[in-house]
Structure 1
Amino acid sequence: MSGGPEVLLDPGAAYPEFAPARAAMQARDWPGVRRLLDATPPGLRSGIIHTCGEEQQDAEFLTAVVRADPADTTAAAMLGAHLIVVGWRIRTAASADQVSRRQFAKFHEWLRQAEAVLLEASVVNPRDPAVWHELLISGRGLQVGRSEVLRRYDRCRLADPHHLPAQQSMVQQLCPKWGGSWELVHSFAREQMLAAPPGFPQAGLVADAHIEHGYAGVKHEAMTAGAFRKYLQQEAVRAELYDAAQRSVWSPEFRRWYGWEWAASSFAMVFALLGDDRGAGHLFGLLGNVATTQPWEYLGVPTWQIRKYRKRAGAWR
């Protein structure tokens, strides 16, 4: 098998389009950024926009671009992503009862700034899925309500029917921790899988939904493999995961579309925990050195967990 013990968590390892976009951002070459992103498929475009917004040290450059051209919704989406990420860093990933009132106040302040930019952009260009994707994230943090969240998702879906970043956000939104239910989460994930063409990574949403469900039942900061394995071993859960894998990562039509490494990584984790070394090994082999932080961080430090389980699956010895 190709590859080795290195674990590459950066999305640029999976998508070469990240490197020139990052270089253009570092050089503050906005026309260069636009040329690259305008030629990029919608899902990957949203992924690059969010990552570049996350990596910006401050909002000054993007704010200037938006002010100079309010019709540039690419810049608005990236600025919104930056403001959202700043807010979430203040809040942290801790459970709500572990977040102080001051943290929540600052968190909401940054999200409201993002909403102001993004909502204006959504009026300027309602067909930009990256704007709606970021509005789903800010809306979740501000708890805008399910009807408004569904409205935002529907607008994104009109712009791009299989917009994976928005679908991933919706899986989170529909979890009980954000006011949803497991029935809603699993139903949504399966509907998106069935609506997507064969081989598309949307089946990873089914794995994602089960990972979230299993994690919610563990009362520790890091999911214990044993507790999660017990959830996965339920007959209905196991059957649904294998069916989903057959429709995507194990399908002869599976290609390296945006989200391929996330779907492969999610299925690799669940099959590794189920003790299916052959199934997990196939996916680790497909991934090579490429990896994703999610869902592995639920088990602990991602690089350690990935090395452990891919070695156990026989991907590298």
Structure 2
Amino acid sequence: MTSTTDGTTSGGSGNTWGPTFDPYDNTPELIPLREAARAGDWPAVRAYCEGLGSAARLTTASSMLADVPGVENFLERAAAERPADPLARTLLAERYIHIGWDIRSSARAQHVSRDQFVQFHDWLRRAEQILIEVCAEHPSYAPAWTARLKTVRGLQLGQAEARRRYDRLRAHHPHHYRAQTQLLQQLCPKWSGSWEAAHAFARECATAAPDGSVSGALVAIVHIEHALDLDGGHKAAYMRSPSVHHDLRNAAQVSVLHPAHRPDWDSVGAHNAFAFAFSFGGHLADAAAHFAALGDRATDDPWDCMPDKKAAFLRYRKAALDTRGGGIR
């Protein structure tokens, strides 16, 4: 990979210049899953998922596969043919959830039409019925419980029910990052939560997790969410505050910057959260380590909040790396 004078890089997955937001470029180990899904090859999908070896990776794969158009066709057949298999049913439910959220869109509720809500809730209820059965039969199955943290939010079943579902998962998987990010969304004011609850949960997860865990990135995520909820110039001012800067530095040091951290599929998203949070607050020297770890690997969240996410990533990355001499290491 070759550094350029503006901090961009060349090479990799056919990407000529600058960052890629394609999760398969960022996690090429997942490409065989996507190809099997596109081909409607259920045996290959099942073999891939069964070989992952961790609840965290299986949950990631389940979410990624849900984004492949048309997979519901072969997953419906697989679920019918293997009614006792939690994998086929959970993957199908995840796909239904994805279809529903696509219809709803990411807009705030006041900008979503009644027809969109009707279709959205219909798809989520279909997923929920499947997941209720899976979780009853397989109470430690992390992908299903994580998916139910999406349906509980979309169906507006309330904070207590969301907490109950998370606690059921946490009993078996105490530091499950993707489940934590889902509950964190539920705890934000836009989903009838509060900033006090959201910040407390992020701190709790970061503190309880082993050193080197990606759970520390929840602190960055909740500060970004809080900042974006403010008006105009208050957004950057919030991120510049000494208390937020202190929180971010501590969280980064115990998570992805800790010597015990072992990069995994969730590391890319965690580094992007820290890189954005530090950059948005003007703490460029702190952002540099995260951009150096990322190279060209960007994620839609949180960069989607910028008018031009690619330009923002490049601008912030160059400014951050310039604090340590420039270039990608």
Moved more, 39-48 or 201-210: 39-48
Taking the aligned partners of 1:39 and 1:191, their CA distance within structure 2 comes to: 32
The 1:79/1:86 distance shift into structure 2, 3 A limit, reads same
Residue 292 of structure 1 deviates from its aligned partner by 0.8
Mapping for residues 54-93 of structure 1, pairs under 5 Å: 54-57=67-70, 59-93=72-106
Mapping for residues 165-314 of structure 1, pairs under 5 Å: 165-218=178-231, 226-313=233-320, 314=322
Taking the aligned partners of 1:9 and 1:120, their CA distance within structure 2 comes to: 35
Residue 79 of structure 1 deviates from its aligned partner by 0.9
Which letter maps to 1:251? H
Pairing partner for 1:32 from 44, 51, 63:
44
TM normalised by structure 1 equals 0.93
Pairing partner for 1:132 from 145, 153, 172:
145
Structure 1 unaligned residues grouped into runs of 5+: 219-223
SS of the aligned residue for 1:255 comes to coil
Taking the aligned partners of 1:235 and 1:287, their CA distance within structure 2 comes to: 25
- Residues 1:8 and 2:15 are matched in the alignment: no
The question of whether the paired residues in 2 share the 8 Å contact of 1:261 and 1:291 is answered with yes
The question of whether the paired residues in 1 share the 8 Å contact of 2:240 and 2:283 is answered with no
Taking the aligned partners of 2:315 and 2:327, their CA distance within structure 1 comes to: 10
SS of the aligned residue for 1:198 comes to coil
Taking the aligned partners of 1:161 and 1:89, their CA distance within structure 2 comes to: 30
Taking the aligned partners of 1:209 and 1:230, their CA distance within structure 2 comes to: 15
Taking the aligned partners of 2:317 and 2:207, their CA distance within structure 1 comes to: 29
Taking the aligned partners of 2:241 and 2:143, their CA distance within structure 1 comes to: 37
CA RMSD of aligned residues (A): 1.8
Taking the aligned partners of 2:314 and 2:264, their CA distance within structure 1 comes to: 25
Taking the aligned partners of 1:57 and 1:188, their CA distance within structure 2 comes to: 36
Q: How many residues align?
A: 311
SS of the aligned residue for 2:66 comes to helix
The question of whether the paired residues in 1 share the 8 Å contact of 2:272 and 2:299 is answered with yes
Which letter maps to 1:164? Y
Q: Which residue number in structure 2 is paired with residue 221 of structure 1?
A: none
Moved more, 234-243 or 198-207: 234-243
Q: Which residue number in structure 2 is paired with residue 158 of structure 1?
A: 171
Q: Which residue number in structure 1 is paired with residue 14 of structure 2?
A: none
Moved more, 17-26 or 125-134: 17-26
Which letter maps to 1:75? A
Structure 2 unaligned residues grouped into runs of 5+: 4-8, 10-16
Taking the aligned partners of 1:135 and 1:311, their CA distance within structure 2 comes to: 40
Residue 26 of structure 1 deviates from its aligned partner by 2.2
Residue 28 of structure 1 deviates from its aligned partner by 2.4
